[in-house]
Each structure stands twice: as C-alpha cells, then as structure tokens.
C-alpha cells in the first residue's frame, strides 16, 4: 500500500505507461514511481511538468482517487477505472473530482467502485459529466457528497450486503441520441433521480425507493421510461412528455407483467402508460392532464382520458402526427378509421409509435400506401384492404392489444416490415393469410392463433421473457430464410399447439429448426434441395412426420434426441441424403413399426425406439451409427424404386 501522485512529464500521458516519470511517490516529484496498483491511493493534485494531462486507455486499478487541486484533463477512453480494495481510501475518500479539472470519456468508459471495506467512503464527482457507474463491492459503504452526473451512461448497484447513504444527493442521468441506459438501483434508497431523455429509453431496475423522480424529454417520439420492478416514490413522481405527439411511454419491461408505482404526489403530462399499477397517496386521475393520457393496456388504479374515435379526412397524402383527425391525434385507446377517397396512390406516413386501438382502412378508395417511418404499435384489431400497399421500409409493426383482436391482411405482403406479437395476456387471430416478405414474424408475449390460414415469412422466433402461445391451426407455415428459420428456444419456452399444421423450410441454403425443448409438431418438411445443411438443433422435440427432400445434407445437432412418428427422406439414385451430426452421436427414435429407407449416407446417428430402422443397399454406413440394419437381410429399395429382399 502506497501513495501515487500523477505529475506527468513522461514520454507518454498514459496512466499505465511504464519506464517514464509520470508517477511520483510525493506531490509534484518526478521520481519514476511504479504505476498504481489496487492497494495504492492515487492523487491528482497539481499541474505537474510537461504533459500533465492523463489518458486511461487500459483498465486501471487504485484504492482511491483524489483529484483535489488538479487543473488538467483526465480522459477515460473505453476502459474501466476500478476503485477500491479491502480497506478504505485515504481520508475515507473513494473518489473526488476537482471542480477545476476536465473529465472526458467515451460511451464505453466506466467507473467501478469495488471496495469491500465497511468503512464509509465518500464520492464527490465535482459536477463532472461522468461515464457509467457501477457499485459492486460486497459489504461496501458509500456516501455521495454531491450530485452524481452521468451522461450517456448507466448506474449499476449490485453490491451485496453493502450500505448506500443517500445524504440527500441527486443522481442525474442525461441520455441522448438513442443511448438507451439502465438505472439498476439494487433495491436501495435514493434521493432524487432526475433524467433528461433525448431520443432514448431509461430502464429502472431493482425495487428501489426514491424521494423524487423527475424526467423530461425532447421532441423525439420514442422516449420511454421502462420499469423492471416496482418503485416507491416518497415525494413527487414527475414525468413530463414534450408534447401531444412527442409523448413519454411509461411501461413495464415485460408485456403483461404489471409494475406498481407507489407515489405521494403524481405529476404527469403527455404520457402513455402500459402495464402500470398506480398506488399511493398521489392522484392517479390522469383524465385531463396536459396532453391527455394514453392507455396502452394492462394498467390498473389509473383513470385515463376517455377514448374518442378518430377518422381521417381529405384525399391527399398525410402524416399521422400532423393530420386533421376528428378531434385529436389518436391516443392508444382511440379507434381509427381511414376511409378516405384517395385520388391516386397517396402515402400515409405513420410517425406515431402508438397509432391507436382498432385501426381499419375499410371504406378507403384509391391505392393508398401505409408507410411507417418508426417502429409502430396497434392496440386492437388491424384491418387492411385489397388495393392498398405497404411501404418498403424497415420497421416493426407490433400487435399489442390486450383483449381479443384480429389481423386482416387482404393479401398484402409486409415486405421489409417485421410483424411482432407482443400483447401480454391478449390474443391475435388471423382473418386471412399473412405474408411477411423477407422478414421474420416474432412472438414476444400473448397468444397468436393462425385460424387455419397460412403463414409465410423468412423466419419466426420468440424474443420473450413472458408467456407465448402459438396455435398453428391447419394451415402451412412456410419459411424461406436460412439460419434460425424457426427459433422457439428462449428464456420461457412457448406453448406450441401444432394442430394439423405443416412447417415447410424452403431455403436451399442452411435453415435451422430450433423447436423448443419438449415441444411437439405435426409435419415438418425441408423442401429446399441444395448444398446448405438443414439442421434440427433442439433436444427432446417430437415431430409426427418429418420429410427431407434430396439432394441436401440433413443434420441433427450433437447429442440431441429427436422423436418422430415417421421419417420420410425423399432420396433416390443420384439424390443422396447425407444424415449426420457434429460431435456426440444424435438419436432419432420412433414407435412406427418399420422405416424402410435407402440412398442415405449416415454418420453418428443412433436409431432407436420400437421401430425397425432399415437403410437399404444404396446407403452408406460412414461411421458411428447404431440401431440400423444396413445392407444385409433387409428390405430395401432397388434401382427401379421397387421393394426387394437383400440377402
């Protein structure tokens, strides 16, 4: 344990540079001291000689950092400053930035308070705009003595058994330019959390208590405050959206999982709420607040602005946020009708992330194009009409209604738009087939019912931590993409009701089927004959009928067990199906009485179950196969496609 003083003047301004005179053992003395270790107290207390600015370009440890008297620049460039060991810093100071110094940082820099000392240590950032902060030291004890300003960074408190003394100090987080960040409070008590949010999302995690929360936003329409746990505000909850069209979205981090805000005083304006329970002494009557209140569903204990149906007018192109609607730009609880007599191919630009509830184009004439310029959500049914078009833009269209809603596509393709089902406990039912062009269809929460209609997309997947139910119906689900074309693996596996559906993978490249462990399917077909390997990559799934069209390689991921009713490889002379795995042998098992197969090339595949597995005279036993009857005493196909007995 020693003192280290930054004096500069060496061959490099890098904190970690060795073999120069940047560090001293006493103030303003260039005696070529060693670079600080985690046991050293570090002082930046003077201008020094020469290059007194300091750049931290690799991770640097110290027991404490005290910059009292420093008048130059400290730069943290993409690295971590780790402060703390098992003892308290000199003078019980963990961190002190001086008012007269300059602190610069980039978006990936961080200051990590990692002390495990139970002695109370102070944090004073001197009014500087700091990078991300993380308090992680077990049993530590920190006390801020001034506002902690975090610009474009995150706050993380994950120190178990630690003490955090609020001392009435503010944590001020400025988020800008889509720098989505998290205040992970660790369930501690804080004074004021304030945040100016510019084109970004602030997520608050941990069941924290605040004296007050204040957020403001700019003219961006995507500003959101997201809650990953319940929050208590003993004073005032003040969230101010910018305007009636630049609204702040207050929502739970998981659709359908409500978060409770208990507040003594509630002051909100220009806000939309989703999955929020209002509680506490504050008034949650938001019916007549400035800019009105939007009800996105899943809320309780809150009175919202009364819904009002909105209809569009005119014959020209228009933009959602500036159009002359019946009485106002639609709120999430407002039904929307677009029945204009368009004179030509007009464009409807959807620039409001939350467009409305039940939205219909029935009654519109002409050939209008609906074209969102941001990710958008609909909170009820969605009804398109034949003759209209969807813009060639890359956005998400989220179906977020909480009741029973329908989707009517009128034969249109969504092209480069990605449909997302994220409706909490709600249900979306198809009224006709859905076609997503070259994009995926994603499931985040809620129930999707195909209702006997076909689904065509590049891929499908879940992005969920909530409940997902997929009722596949009797239609055909066709996926044209490679990679994870069907991905039902996730943190909460979905409920798959396969019904009598058929899953078709038509890519000639390399489609992967991730069925979700323990899930069952009716019929799965790999039809895209090509050089790309078709892979089944989830353990313990069941497929009633599996069909593979030659010539193409077919693979089971190493070690998995696939249960099939029937395995139907459509192979023939000159059209071999190579069936293998990588690493440990994979198992295909069936209770079907007999599989009579031919023109296979087998590697590391175990055939199991009560079925008899025959691979005929034209099949190749490469290596590592068990449970097969290969080329001797088996019933096989001859070159004419007729059955013959091989002696």
**pLDDT digits over 145-201, tens only?**
999 999 989 999 999 999 999 999 999 999 988 789 999 999 999 999 999 999 999
Residue 635 confidence (pLDDT): 45
- Is residue 645 over pLDDT 60? no
Centroid of chain to Cα 125: 32
32, 25 contact by CB (below 8 A): no
The CA-based angle 209-211-213, given to 5 degrees, is 90
Please report, rounded to a whole number, the percentage of residues in the chain having pLDDT higher than 90.
85
Q: What is the H or E stretch that residue 55 is in?
A: strand 54-56
Task: State the average pLDDT over residues 499-510.
Answer: 95
User: What distance in Å separates the CA atoms of residue 345 and residue 323, rounded to the nearest whole number?
Assistant: 18
User: What distance in Å separates the CA atoms of residue 496 and residue 470, rounded to the nearest whole number?
Assistant: 5
User: What distance in Å separates the CA atoms of residue 29 and residue 201, rounded to the nearest whole number?
Assistant: 47
Mean of pLDDT over the chain: 93
Res. 17 pLDDT band, cuts 50 70 90:
confident
The CA-based angle 402-405-407, given to 5 degrees, is 130
- Is residue 122 over pLDDT 70? yes
* Rg of the chain (C-alpha set): 31
Residue 46 confidence (pLDDT): 77
Paired with 184 in beta bridges are: 156, 205
Strands 231-240 and 259-269: what pairing?
parallel
- The two structure tokens encoding residue 308: 């009002």
Pick the closest to residue 400 from 437, 353, 435 (CA basis). 353
Residue 625 exposed, middle or buried by CB count within 10 Å (0-12, 13-18, 19+) = buried
Task: State the average pLDDT over residues 451-470.
Answer: 92
Residue 363 confidence (pLDDT): 96
Residue 127 confidence (pLDDT): 95
User: What distance in Å separates the CA atoms of residue 384 and residue 182, rounded to the nearest whole number?
Assistant: 38
Residue 344 confidence (pLDDT): 84
End-to-end CA distance of the chain: 84
- The two structure tokens encoding residue 470: 């997929």
User: What distance in Å separates the CA atoms of residue 41 and residue 63, rounded to the nearest whole number?
Assistant: 5
- Is residue 633 over pLDDT 80? no
Tens-digit pLDDT profile for residues 131-147: 999 999 999 999 999 99
Residue 66 confidence (pLDDT): 97
- Is residue 333 over pLDDT 90? yes
- Is residue 456 over pLDDT 60? yes
The 3 state secondary structure assigned to 279-336 is: ECCCCCECCCCCCCEEECCCCECCECCCCCCEECCCCCCEEHHHCCCCCCCCCCCCCE
Res. 634 pLDDT band, cuts 50 70 90:
very low
Paired with 201 in beta bridges are: 224
Q: What share of the chain is helix, strand, coil (3-state, %, to 5)?
A: 0, 45, 50
Q: Which residues contact 155 (CB under 8 A, 6 or more apart)?
A: 132, 133, 134, 148, 171, 173, 182, 183, 184, 185
Total length of the chain: 647
pTM above 0.85, yes or no: yes
Strands 155-157 and 132-135: what pairing?
parallel
User: What distance in Å separates the CA atoms of residue 25 and residue 43, rounded to the nearest whole number?
Assistant: 10
Task: State the average pLDDT over residues 598-614.
Answer: 97
Task: State the average pLDDT over residues 587-606.
Answer: 96
Strands 293-295 and 347-350: what pairing?
unpaired
User: What distance in Å separates the CA atoms of residue 632 and residue 621, rounded to the nearest whole number?
Assistant: 12
User: What distance in Å separates the CA atoms of residue 206 and residue 134, rounded to the nearest whole number?
Assistant: 14
- Is residue 559 over pLDDT 90? yes
Residue 13 vs residue 115, higher pLDDT: 115
Residue with tokens 């600080």: 36
Please report, rounded to a whole number, the percentage of residues in the chain having pLDDT higher than 70.
96
Residue 31 confidence (pLDDT): 85
Question: What's the DSSP call for residue 542?
Answer: E
User: What distance in Å separates the CA atoms of residue 522 and residue 122, rounded to the nearest whole number?
Assistant: 63
Q: CB neighbours (10 Å) of residue 504? A: 19
Return the minimum-mean-pLDDT range out of 7-21, 256-270, 470-484: 7-21
Q: Which residues contact 347 (CB under 8 A, 6 or more apart)?
A: 317, 368, 369, 371, 391
Residue with tokens 């904190």: 15
Residue 47 confidence (pLDDT): 60
Q: Which residues contact 305 (CB under 8 A, 6 or more apart)?
A: 286, 287, 288, 289, 292, 293, 294, 295, 331, 333
* Burial state string for 598-607 with b = 16 or more CB within 10 A and e = fewer than 16: bbbbbbbbbb
């Amino acid at each position: 344990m020693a003192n280290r003083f930054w004096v500069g003047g060496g061959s490099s301004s890098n904190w970690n540079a060795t073999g120069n005179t940047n560090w001293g053992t006493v103030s303003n003395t260039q005696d070529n001291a060693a670079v600080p270790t985690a046991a050293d107290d570090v002082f930046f207390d003077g201008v020094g000689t020469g290059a007194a600015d300091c750049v931290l370009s690799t991770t640097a440890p110290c027991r404490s950092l005290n910059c009292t008297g420093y008048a130059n620049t400290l730069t943290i460039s993409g690295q971590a400053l780790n402060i703390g060991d098992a003892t308290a810093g000199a003078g019980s100071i963990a961190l002190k930035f001086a008012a007269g110094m300059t602190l610069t940082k980039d978006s990936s820099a961080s200051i990590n308070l990692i002390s495990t000392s139970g002695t109370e240590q102070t944090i004073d950032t001197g009014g500087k705009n700091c990078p991300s902060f993380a308090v992680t030291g077990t049993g530590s004890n920190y006390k801020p003595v001034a506002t902690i300003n975090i610009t474009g960074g995150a706050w993380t408190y994950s120190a178990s058994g630690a003490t955090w003394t609020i001392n009435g100090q503010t944590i001020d987080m400025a988020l800008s330019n889509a720098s989505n960040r998290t205040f992970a409070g660790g369930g501690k008590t804080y004074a004021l959390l304030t945040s100016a949010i510019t084109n970004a999302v602030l997520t608050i995690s941990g069941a924290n208590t605040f004296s007050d929360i204040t957020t403001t936003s700019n003219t961006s329409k995507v500003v959101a405050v997201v809650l990953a746990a319940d929050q208590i505000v003993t004073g005032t909850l003040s969230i101010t959206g910018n305007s009636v069209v630049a609204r702040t979205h207050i929502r739970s981090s998981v659709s359908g999982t409500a978060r409770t805000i208990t507040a003594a005083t509630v002051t909100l304006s220009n806000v939309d709420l989703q999955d929020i329970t209002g509680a506490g002494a504050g008034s949650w009557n938001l019916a007549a607040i400035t800019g009105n209140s939007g009800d996105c569903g899943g809320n309780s204990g809150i009175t919202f602005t009364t819904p009002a149906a909105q209809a569009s007018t005119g014959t020209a192109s228009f933009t959602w946020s500036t159009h002359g609607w019946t009485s106002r730009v639609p709120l999430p609880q407002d039904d929307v009708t677009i029945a204009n007599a368009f004179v030509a191919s007009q464009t409807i630009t959807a620039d409001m992330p939350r467009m409305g509830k039940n939205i219909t184009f029935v009654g519109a004439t002409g050939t209008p194009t609906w074209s969102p310029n941001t990710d958008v959500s609909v909170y009820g049914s969605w009804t398109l009409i034949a003759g209209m078009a969807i813009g060639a833009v890359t956005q998400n269209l989220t179906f977020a209604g909480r009741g029973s809603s329908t989707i009517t596509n009128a034969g249109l393709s969504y092209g480069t738009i990605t449909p997302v089902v994220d409706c909490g406990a709600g249900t979306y039912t198809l009224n006709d087939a859905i076609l997503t062009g070259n994009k995926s269809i994603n499931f985040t929460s809620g129930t999707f019912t195909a209702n006997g209609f076909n689904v065509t997309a590049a891929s499908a997947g879940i992005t969920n931590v909530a409940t997902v139910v997929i009722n596949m119906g009797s239609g055909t689900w066709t996926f044209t993409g490679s990679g994870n074309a069907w991905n039902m693996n996730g943190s909460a596996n979905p409920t798959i009701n396969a019904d009598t559906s058929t899953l078709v993978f038509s890519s000639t490249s390399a489609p992967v089927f991730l069925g979700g462990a323990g899930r069952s399917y009716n019929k799965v077909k790999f039809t895209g004959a090509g050089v790309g390997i078709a892979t089944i990559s989830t353990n313990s799934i069941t497929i009633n009928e599996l069909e593979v069209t030659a010539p193409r390689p077919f693979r089971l991921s190493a070690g998995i067990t696939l249960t099939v009713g029937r395995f139907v490889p459509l192979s023939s002379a000159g059209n071999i199906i190579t069936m293998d795995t990588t690493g440990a042998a994979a198992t295909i098992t069936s209770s079907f009485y007999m599989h009579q197969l031919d023109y296979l090339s087998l590697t590391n595949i175990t055939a199991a179950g009560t079925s008899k597995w025959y691979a005929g005279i034209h099949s190749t036993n490469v290596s590592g196969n068990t449970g097969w009857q290969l080329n001797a005493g088996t019933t096989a196909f001859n070159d004419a496609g007729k059955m013959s007995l091989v002696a």
